[in-house]
Amino acid sequence: MSVAGFEVEVDRGSGLETEEMTLNMGPQHPSTHGVLRFVVKADGEVMRRAVPDIGYLHRSIEKISEKVGYHGFMPYTDRVDYVAAMFCNQGWGMVTEKLAGIEVPKRGEYCRVIAAELNRISSHLLAVGTMILDIGAITPFFHAFREREKINDLLEELCGARLTYNYMRVGGVAWDLPPGYEEKVLAFLNQLEPMLDEHYDLVSENTLFRGRAASVATISAETAISYNLVGPNLRASGVRYDVRRDEPYSVYPELEFDVPVGTGMAGEVGDSFDRYYLRVQEIRESVKILRQCFQQIPDGPVVAKVPRKLKPPAGDAQIRVESARGDMSWYAVSDGSEFPYRCKVRTGSFAAMSIIEEISQGLMLADLVTVIASLDIVAPEVDR
């Protein structure tokens, strides 16, 4: 096998062979984002396999929806994925609107997209920053979080909260854009782009970082599809699929943006570096979308008239949202009462979690954190 560019011969059969040992990584571990546990079968430094053990963060969010009604469930959706709560808000809003046949005003849709894309930038900054942190560099993490802090401030001004936004409502959004918001966001975007260039010099070009991420845990396009990977993880493997482009919702058909895919610029297509760099590219695409949104946003109401006691007709509906962690699908069944009969969320982190067992075979133990971080797994999203 090869370690850091050198061919290393593993001695077997001379009476010095190692035996397999079982290690626990987690539930509390500084480099697992949230509470998740891996049972690692390792042969020395080399992993035979790492089996994820999920369920530590199960909060029965889907069940809660059956007790609190359509409007009351909105703040709970923030907790599905607290790093990118806007998409969960949007998903629940969209599935309820589809059930009840409500149309969102144009300005409301634009407000949603603006909030969601800001949230996507912040989520990707977190993913990129913490991946570098897990690999062992701390400075770029602070740079990423400095920028994320500015987005938090912007979203705080928009909806009053920094993490659990509860910004969207069934039929639109709760608050219109505050006065002077456009200037503030554009000023932020203008200084974000030079920061990304600086980040490129600092991290993406860095030999040490490339050595840790390039050609590590490569996922081929076939494996990615067969494990149902979604979002940036799928696109990094070279599959050009984006729900925003291929199954457009909201006002995305009116916006122009590229869907970047992994190119294997540091090693192979679909390695950890590709997954990292794809997120950086997606930040640039989100910046593009935001600029267009502010140019195209029309005047008008931001929320449709929706009765406080919403009783959608019996039936079911399913929608898909391109969340920061990929295709997030929401399914809801209504029995005609004011409470949903059933709600189901399918999230991207769950698929990303299940592929770890496959791709961790034969990796070094220290690479497991690279794999978790590069797949951008948010533990509460796995369990819900």
Identify which range of 11-19, 52-60, 119-127, 156-164 contacts other proteins by CB under 8 A.
Answer: 156-164
Under rule CB under 8 A, residue 159 binds other proteins: yes
Under rule CB under 8 A, residue 139 binds other proteins: yes
Under rule CB under 8 A, residue 215 binds other proteins: no
Identified binder of other proteins from the candidate list 98, 112, 120, 169, rule CB under 8 A = 169
* Cβ neighbours of residue 81 closer than 8 Å, sequence gap 6 or more: 87, 88, 323, 324, 325, 328, 347, 349, 378, 380, 381
* Cβ neighbours of residue 169 closer than 8 Å, sequence gap 6 or more: 71, 74, 93, 303, 306
Q: How far apart are CA 27 and CA 47, in angstroms?
A: 18
Under rule CB under 8 A, residue 3 binds other proteins: no
Fill in the DSSP letter of residue 136: T
Yes or no: say if 121 and 144 are a contact pair by the CB < 8 Å rule.
no
Under rule CB under 8 A, residue 267 binds other proteins: no
Instruction: Look up tokens 């189901």; give the residue.
Output: 344
Identified binder of other proteins from the candidate list 66, 157, 338, 358, rule CB under 8 A = 157
Yes or no: say if 122 and 260 are a contact pair by the CB < 8 Å rule.
no
Under rule CB under 8 A, residue 23 binds other proteins: no
Identified binder of other proteins from the candidate list 156, 246, 256, 258, rule CB under 8 A = 156
Q: How far apart are CA 168 and CA 71, in angstroms?
A: 10
Identify which range of 128-136, 201-209, 232-240, 274-282 contacts other proteins by CB under 8 A.
Answer: 201-209
Under rule CB under 8 A, residue 76 binds other proteins: yes
Yes or no: say if 35 and 379 are a contact pair by the CB < 8 Å rule.
yes
Q: Which of 128, 81, 79, 32 lies closest to 348 in space, CA to CA?
A: 81
Bridge partners of 316?
A: 333
Identify which range of 202-210, 255-263, 351-359, 368-376 contacts other proteins by CB under 8 A.
Answer: 202-210
For 25, 79, 83, 176, 346, the CA distances from 112, given in Å and listed in that order, are 38, 18, 17, 10, 21
Under rule CB under 8 A, residue 152 binds other proteins: no
Identify which range of 9-17, 162-170, 271-279, 345-353 contacts other proteins by CB under 8 A.
Answer: 162-170
| Smallest separation (angstroms) from other proteins to the CB of 86 | 14
Identified binder of other proteins from the candidate list 125, 158, 251, 373, rule CB under 8 A = 158
* Cβ neighbours of residue 208 closer than 8 Å, sequence gap 6 or more: 137
Under rule CB under 8 A, residue 173 binds other proteins: yes
Yes or no: say if 381 and 81 are a contact pair by the CB < 8 Å rule.
yes
Identify which range of 151-159, 242-250, 328-336, 356-364 contacts other proteins by CB under 8 A.
Answer: 151-159
Under rule CB under 8 A, residue 304 binds other proteins: yes
Instruction: Look up tokens 């035979």; give the residue.
Output: 48
Bridge partners of 212?
A: none
Identified binder of other proteins from the candidate list 45, 103, 149, 258, rule CB under 8 A = 149
DSSP states along 40-98: EEEETTEEEEEEEE--TT---HHHHHHHHHHHHTHHHHTTTSTTSHHHHHHHHHHHHHH
Under rule CB under 8 A, residue 172 binds other proteins: yes
| Smallest separation (angstroms) from other proteins to the CB of 73 | 7
Q: How far apart are CA 86 and CA 93, in angstroms?
A: 10
Identify which range of 112-120, 169-177, 261-269, 371-379 contacts other proteins by CB under 8 A.
Answer: 169-177
Between 9 and 201, name the residue whose CB sits nearer to other proteins.
201
Between 28 and 191, name the residue whose CB sits nearer to other proteins.
191
Under rule CB under 8 A, residue 198 binds other proteins: yes
Q: How far apart are CA 280 and CA 155, in angstroms?
A: 21
Identified binder of other proteins from the candidate list 213, 214, 302, 368, rule CB under 8 A = 302
Identified binder of other proteins from the candidate list 27, 238, 267, 301, rule CB under 8 A = 301
What does the binding site for other proteins look like in residue numbers (CB under 8 A)? 4-6, 68-69, 71-76, 78, 139, 146, 149, 156-161, 164, 166, 169, 171-176, 178, 198, 201-203, 205-208, 301-308
